[in-house]
Amino acid sequence: MKHILSVLVNNSSGVLSHVASLFTRRGYNIESLCVAETHQNERSIITLVVDEDDKMVSQIERQLYKLVDVIKIEDLTDHPSIERELVLATIQLERSKREEILSLVDVFQARIVDMSGMAIMIELIAEPRKIRSFIKIIAEYGIIKIARSGSIALPCFSADE
């Protein structure tokens, strides 16, 4: 089952290597990994999407806690939370398909961020599920290049925090 782990870490130069090394060494399946600084500049958030059962995920959390740069881990899977991913895709722009593509962009609430005579670059920020179906559909028009960010997520605010 898919789990989203939000891991607060010290922003040290080796922290990413330590996390990555743990996953390779213990053979955990990782779907995506996203790192960026937080508003506190000595802290970063690593968002990990892993596809493992609950028992394994609890093992992963406990192993992660042994890394000295890991401060806090939240499993967002069972909490109300918002998950987002960004995709940028450049697809072929055939004149005959132009209208179709533009309405697709509309339906998915995506944006056109670059355009040339032959190609169009689309940006979509959405839940991973929507991103996946979007990619499947635009693939039919011929994807020239694509980049995905991997998921980030945040739990919804609850009053008892």
Tell me which residues touch other proteins (CB under 8 A): 10, 14, 17-18, 21-22, 25, 55, 59, 62-63, 65-66, 68-71
The pair of structure tokens assigned to 44 is: 């970063």
Supply the minimum distance, in Å, between the C-beta of residue 23 and other proteins: 11
- Among candidates 156, 158, 153, which has minimal Cα distance to 2? 153
Supply the minimum distance, in Å, between the C-beta of residue 101 and other proteins: 45
Is the CA virtual torsion 16, 19, 21, 23 positive or negative? negative
**49/34 Cα distance (integer angstroms):** 9
* Cβ distance to other proteins smaller for residue 55 or 136: 55
* Cβ distance to other proteins smaller for residue 18 or 130: 18
The residues facing 21 across adjacent strands are none
**143/138 Cα distance (integer angstroms):** 7
Supply the minimum distance, in Å, between the C-beta of residue 39 and other proteins: 19
* Cβ distance to other proteins smaller for residue 62 or 129: 62
